[in-house]
Each structure stands twice: as C-alpha cells, then as structure tokens.
Amino acid sequence: MPLLMKNPFNSIVFIASFAMLVLFSSCGTVENIEVELTNPVMTNTGDQFTTVATIKNTSSEVQVLYSIDIGDLYTAGFMLMESVPNYTESMHIPFDNSTSYSYHTAIPAHGSIEVELTWQALKQGDFRDEFDFCINSDIEFLSVEQRTIVQ
C-alpha cells in the first residue's frame, strides 16, 4: 500500500498542498499592462527610500490592480513605512514566500497609476526578490525583480 494511503490525513494534506502549488505557481496571461519600478540601487542602514511603481494600462478597457506581492527575500532587509495609495489589507503568504498588499485600484483605459512604497532599511545586505503585480485577479500577475543593496 502506498505511504499516503496509510493515513487519510496525509492524503488530504498532500492533495491540498499539490493544488495550492499548481494554483499559485501558474498565472493567467496579463495583457495590455506595463510595469516600471524605480528606486535607488544602494542605500544605508536606517535610511528611508521610495520605490515608485508605475502601472500603465494600454487597453481600451479599465483594468484593476488587485495586489502587489513582494518576496520575502526582499522584505527581509526593509520595513514598509508607507504606501500611497494605502493598501486595504496585507497578509503573509507562506507557501509563496511573499507578503501580499491588496489595493483593488482601477487603472483607467489608456491611463496609468503610481504606487509609492516608502521603506526603511533595517540591516546591511543585498536584497533581491520578485514584485508580483496582480491584475484583474489574485492569480494573474506580472513579475518584476527588484534589488537594493544596504550598506
């Protein structure tokens, strides 16, 4: 008998884990969205800096920025001090190793929005990870790698 069948709970956990992996490792196609991230490549411990995300909608229809999911390897070096506009909710997603900041903000047709994230550098290091911009749903996203070195 296979190992998973000895304990029904293990089978349920395995199936649920596999389903979550498939759900969150795949993404739908994001069309007509361009993302540009700007921030300093280097900063000093204790300093604050701002990351500006410009999300451009090239479609003739309104689209929605659902959330920005930021990888744990990046946030390990920083504390998010402020977001403009404010996010409505945040939660850590352990199976994705990221923190999700919900916005649910409309991006006008043929228009753009900016999100400004103000960080404080907590410790020295080279911090790099993905910023996932979830568009029109929680599972359709564009990924942009971000890197900041703290001296």
Question: 78-94, pLDDT tens digit by residue?
Answer: 999 999 999 999 999 99
Residues 6 or more apart whose Cβ sits within 8 Å of residue 63: 32, 33, 57, 106, 107, 135, 136
The pLDDT assigned to 114 comes to 98
The pLDDT assigned to 17 comes to 41
- 98, 141, 48, 86: CA torsion to nearest 10: -100
pLDDT at 9 over 70: no
Residue that wins the pLDDT comparison between 123 and 28: 123
Q: Where are the alpha helices (DSSP H) in the chain?
A: 3-6, 8-25, 72-75
- Written as six digits, the tokens of 96 are 């994705």
Please, what sign has the CA dihedral across residues 92, 94, 98, 104? negative
Q: What percent of the chain has pLDDT over 70?
A: 81
pLDDT at 5 over 70: no
Least confident of 6-10, 64-68, 115-119, 139-143: 6-10
CB 73 within 8 A of CB 128: yes
- Residue 52 to residue 63: CA distance in whole angstroms: 19
The pLDDT assigned to 18 comes to 40
pTM of the model: 0.81
Name the average pLDDT for the chain.
Answer: 87
CB 129 within 8 A of CB 70: yes
pLDDT (average), residues 91-112: 96
CA distances from 82 to 27, 41, 50, 79 (A): 28, 19, 9, 9
